[in-house]
Amino acid sequence: MTSSPSGPHPPGGLAVLPVPGLGEIRRGDDLATLIAGQVELLDGDVVVVTQKIVSKAEGAMVPIDPDDPDDRLRIIESESVRVLRRRGDLVISETRHGFICANAGVDLSNVERGWAALLPEDSDRSARRIRDGLRAATGREVAVVVSDTFGRPWRKGVVDVAIGCAGLAAVVDLRGTADAMGRDLVATEVCVADEVASAAELVMGKAAAVPVAVVRGVDPDWLRRGSVSEEILRPPAEDLFR
Amino acid sequence: MTSSPSGPHPPGGLAVLPVPGLGEIRRGDDLATLIAGQVELLDGDVVVVTQKIVSKAEGAMVPIDPDDPDDRLRIIESESVRVLRRRGDLVISETRHGFICANAGVDLSNVERGWAALLPEDSDRSARRIRDGLRAATGREVAVVVSDTFGRPWRKGVVDVAIGCAGLAAVVDLRGTADAMGRDLVATEVCVADEVASAAELVMGKAAAVPVAVVRGVDPDWLRRGSVSEEILRPPAEDLFR
């Protein structure tokens, strides 16, 4: 049943395990069942699933004329509530979900020609559904992160971040935990969901078509309900850059 | 000699191992020797070292009046070349190194009262020095990332990113690599140095005083010279958010 590496994580450390072999995902596919067939999960595992296969399984795809750049722009604008910046082909906008990213997350790579993948309608809900399916299929208490690839201001290169989560706190608040010098820490809220997504990306490889990874060994205190939309998305009024 | 977990990484995957037990770091301490005394390194390991202990070892510390908020602001301004935003106590500025971050990286947590830690003068150089020391001490071909904790626009919570690297490409260019559908990928430059820093942070814990971690099993193709300042810092003319 298990074709990918497994085994315990190193004591005090993490293991990050790629889960290949899911095959091409189509609308209606049950990702939880497919993933459970490829990796032996343990209690406390965080299963990171890339947005692309979530969108494909959920049918979050729209037809696009691949030879008409205006068609792509039309889709990006229909997925956006507000455009922050434009330069050439690039649009930085706020999506209707509240993410600020390039091209409203509309993606043509690794998608059948003539189709564009949109972001899932509600990525936290997608994560909850996959988690429920994995728990039912395996009997294991696992968490799920839905990841996507975002650029950042000021820094070149993209990184994977969390766009949905379930069973893992998105942000862990260490405010008030004494630092090693015995004083109070201030404002140390760590976005562990984004860090987990980034760790997972390191074993995925853009071209290798590994759309799932397991992060094994995270702090058990982090394993609680979790929500990207509630914990990570910064309210516009608190934001200094929009 | 080895007090931290070691052993090979899982096949196709990564291991992320905390390296505790370095003790309090003081000016002039040889970090490479201290790290080599706590973990058995393997060829290809990426050793992630937090900025705080690099700054302490290098003496990048300045005295501060802990009861005078203006003194903190004075130090932040002297470390900045340009202020992008201010709100209350928070200053978002461009440092003289070219980083855009909160409070110019000036840090009072886990630092002796009456002192503030600054960013290292040249974090890529710091990474190179530690790497050279580790290679000399262990005979292993390792890479080094110097990490720091940065906030982001639009997303709550901080994540660890790379402020220096040596022996690891900061950004891996997958442009032109065919995607799984056989077409060209465009603009998939992945900032693996930041993802490695984030993965390492997951085993460090803000209050646990684990200032070093080893990321074992990264793609061997990524093990080349590497430079955060050359590869990650986005030139102002290309930047849409300053």
Give contacts of B 60-99 with A, CB under 8 A. 84-85, 87, 92, 99
If you count residue pairs, one on A and one on B, with CB atoms under 8 Å apart, how many are there? Answer: 248
For the segment A106-127, what is each residue's pLDDT rounded down to a tens digit? 988 878 889 999 999 999 999 9
Task: Measure in Å the smallest separation between the Cα of B228 and chain A Cα atoms.
Answer: 10
Global confidence as pTM = 0.94
Helix, coil or strand: residue B201: helix
- Of A88, A93, A27, nearest to A58 by C-alpha is A27
Question: Is B182 touching A (CB cutoff 8 A)?
Answer: no
Q: Do B232 and A174 touch (CB under 8 A)?
A: no
* For chain B, domain boundaries: 15-60+120-230, 61-118
Contacts of A67 (CB under 8 A, 6+ apart): none
- Of A134, A78, A84, A76, nearest to A103 by C-alpha is A76
Residue of B10, B87, B198 with shortest CB distance to A195: B198
Measured CA to CA, the distance from residue B117 to residue B95 in angstroms comes to 14
Q: Do B155 and A111 touch (CB under 8 A)?
A: no
* Type of residue at A195: E
Question: Is A149 touching B (CB cutoff 8 A)?
Answer: yes
What ipTM, to 2 d.p.? 0.93
- Of A132, A133, A131, nearest to A143 by C-alpha is A131
Task: Measure in Å the smallest separation between the Cα of B181 and chain A Cα atoms.
Answer: 5
Given pLDDT bands bounded at 50, 70 and 90, which one contains residue A2? very low
Best B22, B100, B115, B202 residue to mutate vs chain A (most A CBs within 10 Å) = B202
Q: Do B234 and A201 touch (CB under 8 A)?
A: no
Q: Do B179 and A17 touch (CB under 8 A)?
A: no
Q: Which of B56-60, B149-153, B173-177, B180-184 has the lowest mean pLDDT?
A: B180-184
Given pLDDT bands bounded at 50, 70 and 90, which one contains residue B111? confident
CB atoms within 10 A of CB A64: 19
Q: Compare all CA atoms of chain B with the CA of A191 and give the residue at the minimum distance.
A: B157
Q: Are B58 and B40 in contact, with CB atoms under 8 Å apart?
A: no
Average pLDDT, chain A: 90
Predicted pLDDT at B208: 63
Average pLDDT over residues B184-205: 87
| CB environment A165-181: b (16+ within 10 A), e (fewer) | bbbbbbbbebeeeebbe
Q: Do B156 and A233 touch (CB under 8 A)?
A: yes
Tell me which of A206 and A68 has the higher pLDDT. Answer: A68
Long-range contacts, A8-11 (Cβ 8 Å, 24+): A8/A42, A8/A216, A9/A216, A9/A217, A9/B15, A10/A217, A10/B5, A10/B6, A10/B7, A10/B15, A10/B17, A11/B5
Sheet holding A46-50, edge to edge: A159-166, A143-150, A46-50, A212-216, A14-18, B14-18, B212-216, B46-50, B143-150, B159-166
Best A39, A46, A192, A195 residue to mutate vs chain B (most B CBs within 10 Å) = A195
Q: Are A164 and A126 in contact, with CB atoms under 8 Å apart?
A: yes
Q: Compare all CA atoms of chain A with the CA of B110 and give the residue at the minimum distance.
A: A181
Q: Do A195 and B190 touch (CB under 8 A)?
A: no
Average pLDDT over residues B117-142: 98
Predicted pLDDT at A7: 66
For the segment A87-108, what is each residue's pLDDT rounded down to a tens digit? 988 899 999 999 999 999 998 8
Given pLDDT bands bounded at 50, 70 and 90, which one contains residue B11? confident
Helix, coil or strand: residue B11: coil
End-to-end Cα separation, chain B, in angstroms: 48
Predicted pLDDT at A86: 92
Q: Do B158 and A189 touch (CB under 8 A)?
A: yes
Alpha-carbon torsion (B144, B150, B153, B158), positive or negative: positive
**Domain boundaries B61-118, CATH class:** alpha beta
Tell me which CATH homologous superfamily contains domain A15-58+121-227.
CofE-like (3.30.1330.100)
Predicted pLDDT at A208: 63
Residue of A100, A202, A213 with shortest CB distance to B154: A100
Q: Which of A68-77, A226-235, B200-209, B225-234 has the lowest mean pLDDT?
A: B200-209
Rounded percentage of chain A residues whose pLDDT exceeds 90? 75
B15-60+120-230, what's its fold?
60s Ribosomal Protein L30; Chain: A; (3.30.1330)
Predicted pLDDT at A188: 81
- Of B54, B69, B221, nearest to B130 by C-alpha is B54
Measured CA to CA, the distance from residue A139 to residue A166 in angstroms comes to 16
Q: Do B218 and A205 touch (CB under 8 A)?
A: no
For the segment B63-100, what is each residue's pLDDT rounded down to a tens digit? 999 888 899 999 999 999 999 999 988 899 999 999 99
The CATH number for A61-119, chosen from 3.90.1660.10, 3.40.50.300, 3.60.90.10, 3.30.300.170, is: 3.90.1660.10
Q: Do B154 and A239 touch (CB under 8 A)?
A: yes
For β-strands A61-63 and A80-87, DSSP reports them as: unpaired
